[in-house]
Amino acid sequence: MSKALLYLLFTTYATATVGYLVHLVWRRAIIARMSLALIAAGVLLQTGLLGHRWWLAGYLPVTNLFATLFFFSWALALIYLYFELRYRIRATGLFVMLLNLILLGGALPRDTSVSALIPALDTPLFSLHIIFSFIGYAFFAMAFSIGVLYLCQTRMKSEMLPDLPTLRRINEEAIFLGFGLFTLCMIAGSIWAHIAWGHWFSWNIKSVWSVLVWMFYAGMCHAKFIRRWQGGVYAWLSIAGFGVVLFTYLGIGLLLESNHPLE
């Protein structure tokens, strides 16, 4: 993948983020609209780059940290577009896109080359496992951003941000959709583990933490029914949940040297 295109993508998202910031200060709708257009253009470019890498490699390239960060960032931008078009959450984009810039920024200095697929990963179950996992993670990242905004909004009561009930709805929806997709990721992963290692659940640290992520968000699908937890507690839980996601995705690989193929 050309680094120039990668930097162009980063600049597009960065400009959109700055646009949202300007919109927040000057309150010009046109700037917000331009930011949205930039994000849409960025998503198109990123989809093209991802498709091109897929075509070049002959498999969905999500086998190293560059590729997973890139895919994660793409999924988050896409999900932001979905929520923006559905709920018109404008200034919320500032925070989501900041998170996206961190993901993409983490990918920028890394090696972009695609290597040959190792035989153990050469199965559609692996691709499904990864696609569902990172789209699920992206929904959890969205929920995290909304959770933080919910807490800000409780204090700021800003007109530029969606009202609390809308933020709550979006948060619950992001958690629910993320949980559903992450469930499918776990199922594809278990079937793959069964045919690759002969047991569908492995007691290795990465698998154990993936189950923890799943249990946590299953819990969150229910926590919204508890009247006293709706709103603030739920927002804090979304933030904590994303901490568990980050530890599972990055922390284990960086801090604990696990042998999972994706770190």
Partner 1 sequence: MAYLDQQSKSLWQRLWNFGCSLKLAIALASAATILIMGGSLVMHFNPAIFASMEQETMSRWLPQAWAQAPKLVFWVPLSGLCVLLFAINTLCCLIDWLCKIKARWRKTGEYLIHAGFILLVIAYIWGNISGFRSGPHRIFPGERIAIPEMPGYALQLDEFTPRVEPSGRPLDMINRVSLWKNQEPVAKALVRINHPLIYDGLVILPTSFGQELQGFRFHMPSRGLVDLMAGSRLPISPEITLEVRRLLPDARQNSQGRVMQVGSRLNNPAMQLSLSGPTGQLWEGWYFLRSPLPKALKEAGVFLRPIEPINKTFSLLTINRDPGDKVALAGSIFISIGVIFAFFSFYRKRAQGDRPEV
Residues of this chain that interact with ligand HEM (CB under 6 A) are: 176, 218, 221-222
Size of the site for partner 1 (CB under 8 A): 43
Q: Can you give the three-state secondary structure of the chain, one letter per residue?
A: CCHHHHHHHHHHHHHHHHHHHHHHHHCCHHHHHHHHHHHHHHHHHHHHHHHHHHHHHCCCCCCCHHHHHHHHHHHHHHHHHHHHHHHCCCCHHHHHHHHHHHHHHHHCCCCCCCCCCCHHHCCHHHHHHHHHHHHHHHHHHHHHHHHHHHHHHHHHCCCCCCCHHHHHHHHHHHHHHHHHHHHHHHHHHHHHHHHHHCCCCCCCHHHHHHHHHHHHHHHHHHHCCCHHHCCHHHHHHHHHHHHHHHHHHHHHHHHHCCCCCCC
Tell the smallest beta-carbon distance from residue 78 to partner 1 (Å): 16
Looking at the Cβ atoms of 22 and 196, the one nearer to partner 1 is 196
- Which tokens belong to 171? 């948060």
Q: Is 127 in the site for partner 1 (CB under 8 A)?
A: no
Looking at the Cβ atoms of 124 and 219, the one nearer to ligand HEM is 219
Q: Is 191 in the site for partner 1 (CB under 8 A)?
A: yes
Tell the smallest beta-carbon distance from residue 153 to partner 1 (Å): 21
Distance CA 141, CA 148 (A): 11
Looking at the Cβ atoms of 69 and 121, the one nearer to partner 1 is 121
Closest-by-Cβ residue to ligand HEM is 218
Tell the smallest beta-carbon distance from residue 126 to partner 1 (Å): 9
Tell the smallest beta-carbon distance from residue 252 to partner 1 (Å): 9
Q: Is 86 in the site for partner 1 (CB under 8 A)?
A: no
Tell the smallest beta-carbon distance from residue 162 to partner 1 (Å): 16
Binding region for partner 1 (CB under 8 A) out of 54-62, 93-101, 134-142, 215-223? 215-223
Looking at the Cβ atoms of 78 and 187, the one nearer to ligand HEM is 187
Given the rule CB under 8 A, which residues bind partner 1? Answer: 119-120, 122-123, 169, 173, 176-177, 180, 183-184, 187, 190-192, 194-205, 208-209, 211-212, 215-216, 218-219, 222-227, 256, 258
